[in-house]
Amino acid sequence: MVDSRHDYLSLEPDVEVDFNKIRWLVADIRDGGPAASDLAQLLYHADLLPGWYDDWVIFEQERVQQLRLDGLEALALHYLQMGDTACATEAALAATSIEPLRESAQLVLLKCHVQAGNHVSAMQAFHDFRVRLNRELGVRPSSIFASVMDPVHSFQVSEAQPPPRSRTAFQ
């Protein structure tokens, strides 16, 4: 597995490295290619050297995490285009669990809920993200979120009954 023929150590060329598989998978998904389910599972669980805290490892762990996030978002969007909202939601939830404050991952999750017709789930995800952003960073979601939520709000307005007069609504 190790090539020591030079003044440095390296892996033999035929050794398969998960990081390379992830890079190829993400590139394939971005290019619109089919995501092989066995390879796609790498995106859900591919941590680089967990428990290691050397400076060089932390940098590489961040690179792998960003690649995984990009891949999971692309995978979710790919599944949405295919009409598979269940797999899309699974990929989007995996991305948001890795990085809960990543707006692009939260947007994909909202799109999944809206496309699946799960308006209450979309409202809950939007609310949770808005609260978390405000609590942790003191900011609000971008205006893009409002446009993604438009179908949900129009559904609410057209289908909702007005609240009883004895209650007060808080936002």
Stated pTM of the model: 0.77
Domain hosting 119: range is: 11-159
* 6 domain-assigned: no
* 98 domain-assigned: yes
Domains identified in the chain, total number:
1
Please report, for the domain that includes residue 78, its CATH number. 1.25.40.10
* 67 domain-assigned: yes
For residue range 68-123, what is the model confidence (pLDDT) as tens digits? 999 999 999 999 999 999 999 999 999 999 999 999 999 999 999 999 999 999 99
* 49 domain-assigned: yes
* 143 domain-assigned: yes
* 164 domain-assigned: no
Alpha helices in 31-164 (DSSP H): 37-45, 55-82, 85-98, 103-116, 119-137, 143-159
For residue range 5-23, what is the model confidence (pLDDT) as tens digits? 777 777 787 877 777 778 8
Per-position DSSP letters for 74-103, written without gaps between them: HHHHHHHHHT-HHHHHHHHHHHHHH-TT-H
